[in-house]
Amino acid sequence: MNSTHDTQVLVTGGTGFIAQHCILLLLKNGYRVRTTVRSLAREPEVRQHLREGGAEPGDRLGFVVADLGSDAGWAEAAAGCAYVMHGASPTPSGAQTSEEDWVRPAVDGNLRVLRAAREAGVKRVVLTSAFGAICAGHGPMKRPFNDDDWSDLTNPNVWPYQKSKTLSEQAAWDFIAREGGGMELSAVNPVAVLGPVLGADYSHSIRLIKNMLAGQPGMPKINSGFVDVRDVADLHLRAMTHEAAAGERFLAIAGESMWMAEVARVLKARMGGIADKVSTRVLPNTIVRLGALKDPALRGAVPLLGLNLNATSAKAIRLLGWAPRSAEEAIVATAESLDRLGLLA
């Protein structure tokens, strides 16, 4: 009898927040999982994070060393896998990093994984893309963003990260159309991902909540959608297995987008004493613009001031039966996990 216990899934970038929750859900559903890391020295850390998430996979989880910047390891990683969840993405560091340092590795990395998957006879790849491939460069919208939207790269205010996500996802779809050899592709495009942290290595979105709890002196007038990482993992699994998901991209957001001050108010209302330092003050736009002149971290926020980034997950809900938790639940789960793991000090 065919069973998920016989089915191997490759999850790229096993040290990542979303990847680890995908691994947890795959293991829970009986799949065997292989994941890539850039160094086997990270294996104990990944296993500890999975243990925090309630899993002791033993030999049902394997590790392969592979880097998106090199062909080495990818054939071994994909061998024998029926599916691939590809979320690994190179992240350049340093204040002088050029746009090309973001874009080229992201595009080449996607193509490297897709080629390895095709050669291994993989049935379907689920690509973790981003809302940044949908929303950037548009200015005010009269309707929510949806899965058919693409970022407008002609706008000079598009960040290198958003450009890299847009071009790398487009390169993946082009590859499937021209060279896929019958392999299927689905893409998941989440907004800011919150939810239970498994360890000290977490995403930028989680840092938003940590900064609020640490006493950030006010909130810029910035709007964002939010989604729980457990629901992002669930959408990946549905995109992997549902017949109707082939050739589709799925925007992942829980309900309506929120202003940062609204997020702060949720923390104040739900988190008791650990939210004592949270400020619900909205910083005037002029203050943020002045601060951005000296602080590079604020410069990217300026084009977003006052911009409503509401979006819809209607397609994922309709087509795949996806039913995400509320954004409030995701916010609370984030704060609770940061507190439980002692990461708020």
The catalytic residue positions are 165
Q: Which tokens in the block code for residue 308?
A: 């409503």
What is the C-alpha to C-alpha distance for residues 278 and 288, in angstroms, rounded to an integer?
18
What is the C-alpha to C-alpha distance for residues 345 and 162, in angstroms, rounded to an integer?
31
Residue 15 near residue 42, CB atoms below 8 Å: yes
What is the C-alpha to C-alpha distance for residues 298 and 301, in angstroms, rounded to an integer?
5
Q: Which tokens in the block code for residue 77?
A: 């990683």
- Between the alpha carbon of residue 116 and those of residues 82, 110, 122, 169, the distances in Å are 12, 10, 9, 17
- Between the alpha carbon of residue 55 and those of residues 50, 73, 118, 247, the distances in Å are 5, 26, 30, 32
* DSSP-based three-state secondary structure for 334: helix
Neighbour tally for 269: CB within 10 Å: 12
Q: What phi, psi does 307 have (nearest 5°)? A: -90, 120
- Look-up: residue for tokens 């829980």? 254
